[in-house]
A and B are shown apart, each in its own frame.
Chain A
């Protein structure tokens, strides 16, 4: 159990897909507060994210397991967050990975669409930085819940 934990912590096991560098910086700043920043692997569009998850393109030789959490921006060039979500949640291998949508939009259709495709959480990026911090800290808790506690699969092992 411990060994497994050690292994996980060694690799960057949070995937942040965000096209806006400033948002990336802010998000990382917020995650830093939770001491999680160094675990985040950042990608800038949906296509890269899919390549990463499927070990394609420049990630063909990527080693290691899948991330334990995906933070996904909704609006991105090439392949947007919703498409990535659809593919991840439709994939037997990937669908257990929690996906949190990080988005500027409060538009209901987006939200509905995301939940329809099995999103695990939906965070509207607030304009207010303190609120943003709060939201990200929630994510930290979320992450912690996934990272530390017994996963249903892990529970069955002993």
Chain B
């Protein structure tokens, strides 16, 4: 019900309060103002016509007296000469009523004069002859004075009443204003307001309180204290805390809430408010004691606000802070962090900063980073660019070379983040960096090494050029040498051989057996010398000529070479086991020489076998090269000397055993090496031998 009353009144009061806060240009406000006047006008009417001004009252007195005199004279005959002064009390009364004391006195005086002149003998003279008339006139004047005095009193009373009435109107206006303010506060959208009497029993419970706390005003007003709106436990704890603080027993009810307020202490605290229906929420509460003019407590005022949003924000802030703290911790554990003011003076430096710079925190705080740490290696433009960037509020990144306290150099890959203030200008520069000294030193080392390599390369190129020149010269000489060998060395041999032959023909019949054997030996030696020279020339030729690479079918090549051996081996029993063979990319003539050599070796070294077996096949090396092998069951060789097989003129068997110059395998090795391949041999004495060579599928020129 109370609530309804406030609601109804609030509309009206709201209207009345508006002119105070809003400009009066608004049409509605104007009408409200006239309404205010209308409301007061009946009060004025209640006091009758306005008091006359003094001159109006005097004129009124004279006029009324004059009229009375005229009417008296008119009725003179009827009255039979009787003065009847009493009639003049009428104008006196009227004048006094209308004009107060002075108007009454004026009417009295005028009436006395007029009656003396016109009514009392002698007539038409102000003199009064009869002693009875003197008395009459005197008593009339006395009555007039009395009437005037009394009316004056009435006038004063009326003015007072008027004044009081005016004050009353003003008081009402003031009251309305206060009520409007109270109502506005009462209906505040944010604060709940609970007023109690001095015992704590709720008297006022505003709509916000109803909405926020879930109780209807009617449920609590005059029925309970605000203690039911608090967590019980909180109230108990508060009572305990207050008991401890003040050393008096504090009961865990409304007393605990109002304890401080009752002692005149402004009390504001955070509580958990309990709703009637469900749950509770954090609130901020202020409690004040209400006192009368004698300072005795007449009640308490509790103003509260829902603190949920603020608490949430606080919690979020705390969470964000915790997160930031974790980040900062993580960052601090391995990054070099530093803060400077806008002038570049260090305001913060973390542990990694101190440990790498070898300065203590106290030594760097307040100093300019550039003065203590930075070496002069960076050009002026480098710094200028950095400052332009960060002073414009943009992030800068770069690699900075610093000098530690002990003079050692360290590099930091640095990001500088300007933290802007309210004026959008950098307030703090946050520099986060990572030590990259090792990388930088490695880079420098690398650059130095590169230069050195470049230098060495140039020198090497020069040397290569020189060597090439020398080699070319040497090659030329060698060529000339082998040419000369082929011509000039062979000629004497030919002569030895030729003339021995001629001698045999010429004198053969007359020579002894022994002499003929000598001649034969000379001839054979010359022949062998010729072979050696031929093989040596071949060997040197292999090194000189360019490779003419094409696809070579090894299968066809092997068949072809076998054909060459046909006549030489038809007396022997040789089993040829030829596996499928691939194509290789090689010089056909040289490849033929290789196969001829290897196959003739196999034929040669199996000559002592009744059943010779020669196997030719292929496989693939781990590197993907083609591998060809020729396996025989011949004399084999001692693996101990396998390395010597491929040397020029290296022989593992005597010439008596197996003929040959000992240059064939050297030739093979030279040819295979020129093709980028490898040649090797496996064998045991009398257990046969396997010769293998590889040819790259991705040929490399050597």
Taking beta carbons and an 8 Å cutoff, which residues of A are in contact with B?
Answer: 20, 22-23, 26, 29, 74-75, 103-108, 125-130, 132
Contact = CB atoms under 8 A, between A and B. Distances in A.
Interface of B: 483, 486-488, 490-491, 493-495, 497-502, 523, 526-527, 529-530, 533-534, 537, 541, 545
Q: Is the interface of B mostly helix, strand, loop or mixed?
A: helix
A132 B491 contact: no
Contacts of A29: 498, 502
Given A26-B495, A29-B498, A106-B534, A127 B483 contact: no
Contact of B494 (A74, A75, A108, A126): A126
Contact of A107 (B483, B500, B526): B483
A153 B490 CA distance: 40
A91 to B, nearest CB: 27
12 contacts: A22-B491, A26-B495, A106-B534, A108-B541, A126-B494, A127-B494, A127-B529, A128-B527, A129-B523, A132-B494, A132-B497, A132-B498
Given A22-B499, A129-B502, 12 more contacts: A22-B495, A29-B502, A75-B487, A104-B487, A104-B490, A104-B491, A106-B534, A126-B494, A127-B497, A127-B530, A128-B527, A129-B523
A126 B541 CA distance: 19
Contacts of A104: 486-488, 490-491, 494
Contacts of A125: 490, 494
Contacts of A105: 483, 486-487
Residue with the greatest number of chain B CB neighbours at <10 A, chosen from A20, A103, A105, A106: A106
A27 to B, nearest CB: 9
Nearest to B488: A104
Contacts of B493: 127
A103 B541 CA distance: 18
B65 to A, nearest CB: 177
Residue with the greatest number of chain A CB neighbours at <10 A, chosen from B497, B500, B502, B545: B497
Contacts of A22: 491, 495, 498-499
A20 B497 CA distance: 15
A106 to B, nearest CB: 6
The 5 closest A-B pairs by CB, nearest first: A127-B530, A129-B501, A26-B498, A129-B498, A22-B495
Nearest to B492: A22
Contacts of A106: 486, 534, 537
Given A26-B495, A106-B534, A107-B483, A130 B490 contact: no
Contacts of B499: 22, 26
Contacts of A23: 491, 494-495
A20 B499 CA distance: 14
Given A26-B495, A104-B494, A106-B537, A129 B500 contact: yes
Contact of A26 (B487, B494, B530, B534): B494
A127 B490 contact: yes
A20 B501 CA distance: 18
Contacts of B497: 127-129, 132
Contacts of A128: 497, 527, 530
A129 B500 CA distance: 9
Given A104-B486, A105-B483, A107-B486, A130 B501 contact: yes
Nearest to B504: A129
A108 to B, nearest CB: 8
A17 to B, nearest CB: 16
A63 B274 CA distance: 153
A130 B494 CA distance: 11
Contacts of B500: 129
Contacts of A127: 490, 493-494, 497, 526-527, 529-530, 533
Residue with the greatest number of chain A CB neighbours at <10 A, chosen from B495, B498, B537: B498
Contacts of B541: 108
Contacts of B483: 105, 107
Nearest to B505: A29
Contacts of B529: 127
Nearest to A110: B483
A26 to B, nearest CB: 4
A126 B496 CA distance: 12
Nearest to B538: A106
B475 to A, nearest CB: 14
Nearest to B523: A129
Residue with the greatest number of chain B CB neighbours at <10 A, chosen from A74, A127, A129, A130: A127
Contacts of A126: 494, 530
Contacts of A75: 487
